[in-house]
Amino acid sequence: MSAPSALRRALLLSSGVLAALPAKALSLWGNKAHPPVELKPMRTVVWRDFLGVNAQLQWFEPAMARKQVERLKALDLNWVRLGLHWMLMEPKEGQFELEAIDRMMALVKDAGLRNITSVVGTPRFASVVAKGDRYEQYFDKFPPKDPVLFAQRMAMLAKRYPQVDVWQVWNEPNILGFWAPKPDPQGYGRLLLASVQGLRATVPNKPIAMAGMAYFSEMAPGNGLMIQKMGELGAFNLDLIIAYHPYTATAEGSEADPRDFVKRVLPAHQWLRSAKVKQIWATEWGWSSYDGPKEEQPIVGEQGQADLTLRRLALMAALDYDRIFLFTLSDLDKRASVRDQHYGLLRENGDPKPVYFALQRFLKICGPRIEPGTPPAIVGDKPEGLIGIAWRQPDGQKLWMVWADKPGTLRLKGIDQATLHSPLKGGQRTLKADAKGQLSVPVDTSLQILSHA
């Protein structure tokens, strides 16, 4: 029997990519006036340590995987998130198929990349789903019947691949696509505890991450947040990295509130820090450039993907994240859904997409390291929905990341001359103060960076 529509919809998310919110969210963005926001960065950012990407290197022939890694290294980024699927590694009990993973791990090691590696997906022999169950065909979406067996497999992998820097236990157990027939904090807690015990006995010095939770870790309506439930169960006492996947319709927010991203992240992270959580990572985020048919996420195209990625990156850099991983390095083949095939910085053939070039320009403008700065003084009115984030480079040069709901013009005082960069479109222009000592700055809906002494 086929799965009911809700289960089938969730099972479509088998690649680990969350559904973004409906297209209606894009129509909401800009229809309501939003107050100006000057977001003060919380800490210094070193891009090669802060920003990583997900990568499915084992999906590709060795030459193409190497090409992808070379593209990543050209951005001067140094972290990748890898995903291992237990049901593919051990389709029959005791029979392991690890050649593709061996090649991937050797490539990562040879390239000097650091990585977090997650393990998910239950083989039929280990799945809790019963033989003859109407959902038996989705066995890999159900949890293991024996958490200790899963922990033993993680320990085996940890011995085999010492180049893994961080191990992550499962993926998105708060949604049906990865923990059927329903999310179960206690059940995941048993899997997590067994895995932590096994990994700490095998690789005691390696950090361990809790599964990256879908969205902000919401479970079914009315069932609360899974990260909070895990805290109540004592998981925070295990000294783990806490991770989640903040996919939303736009860079700034969701359908319910087009500006709720910052409003949700700030209190959530304050609560996590008060609970003594040392590391908060976003192990997936991003947008697909697919052109339809529509599959949950709004259709934004390649330029929209680049625009959204830069704006969200600017926000996340200023917030209380320790590390973030963009989804994903390369577009995928037809083993993924139509939408999930097109989240990449690169096309399947390894050629860069607009988002790659936009990110490359952004990182070049910023330089390797940026520190919290002081925003410029604004004179008079501000464009609707203005967002500004002030940084400075180690040599004292000031950077102001700025965009708004609608195009407009700002007047700044105290700046005689500046350069306005457009990382999305490329190009720059020199701006000079007028006779009144005011600098007129054209503001766009896309991210721009004002650089000045």
Confidence band for 32, pLDDT divided at 50, 70 and 90: low
What pLDDT is recorded for position 288?
A: 98
How many structural domains does the chain have?
2
Q: Do 176 and 192 belong to one domain? A: yes
* Burial (CB count within 10 angstroms: exposed 0-12, middle 13-18, buried 19+), residue 323: buried
| pTM for the whole structure | 0.92
Q: Do 138 and 243 belong to one domain? A: yes
Q: Which of 368, 385, 412 is the last residue in one of the domains?
A: 368
Beta strand 448-452 pairing with 398-403: antiparallel
Q: Do 94 and 114 belong to one domain? A: yes
Q: Do 95 and 136 belong to one domain? A: yes
Percent of the chain with pLDDT over 90: 88
Q: Do 289 and 412 belong to one domain? A: no
219: Cβ contacts below 8 Å, ≥ 6 apart: 174, 183, 225, 226, 229
Is the CB of residue 183 less than 8 Å from the CB of residue 255?
no
Q: Stretch 36-47: mean pLDDT, rounded?
A: 96
Average pLDDT across the chain, whole number: 92
What pLDDT is recorded for position 221?
A: 83
Question: Which residues sit opposite 421 in a β-bridge?
Answer: 428, 449
What are the tens digits of pLDDT across the range 149-206?
A: 999 999 999 999 999 999 999 999 999 999 999 999 999 999 999 999 999 999 999 9
Q: Do 173 and 117 belong to one domain? A: yes
Q: What is the CATH number of the domain that holds 168?
A: 3.20.20.80
What pLDDT is recorded for position 327?
A: 98
Percent of the chain with pLDDT over 70: 93
Q: Which of 304, 337, 368 is the last residue in one of the domains?
A: 368
Q: Which of 368, 383, 407 is the last residue in one of the domains?
A: 368
Domain that holds residue 390: 370-452
Task: Say yes or no to pLDDT of 22 above 90.
Answer: no
Q: Stretch 345-368: mean pLDDT, rounded?
A: 98
Q: Do 80 and 169 belong to one domain? A: yes
Q: Do 177 and 203 belong to one domain? A: yes
What are the tens digits of pLDDT across the range 289-323?
A: 999 999 888 999 999 999 999 999 999 999 999 99
Task: Say yes or no to pLDDT of 6 above 80.
Answer: no
Q: What is the CATH number of the domain that holds 425?
A: 2.60.40.1180
What pLDDT is recorded for position 273?
A: 98
What are the tens digits of pLDDT across the range 49-89?
A: 999 999 999 999 999 999 999 999 999 999 999 999 999 99
Q: Do 178 and 199 belong to one domain? A: yes
Confidence band for 134, pLDDT divided at 50, 70 and 90: confident
Task: Say yes or no to pLDDT of 341 above 60.
Answer: yes
What pLDDT is recorded for position 25?
A: 26
Q: Do 339 and 395 belong to one domain? A: no
Tokens for 211, please give them: 């599964």
Confidence band for 2, pLDDT divided at 50, 70 and 90: very low
Q: Do 181 and 282 belong to one domain? A: yes
Q: Do 129 and 160 belong to one domain? A: yes
What are the tens digits of pLDDT across the range 397-431?
A: 999 999 999 999 999 999 999 999 999 999 999 99
What are the tens digits of pLDDT across the range 207-245?
A: 999 999 999 999 988 899 999 999 999 999 999 999 999
Task: Say yes or no to pLDDT of 337 above 70.
Answer: yes
Task: Say yes or no to pLDDT of 17 above 80.
Answer: no
Task: Say yes or no to pLDDT of 10 above 70.
Answer: no
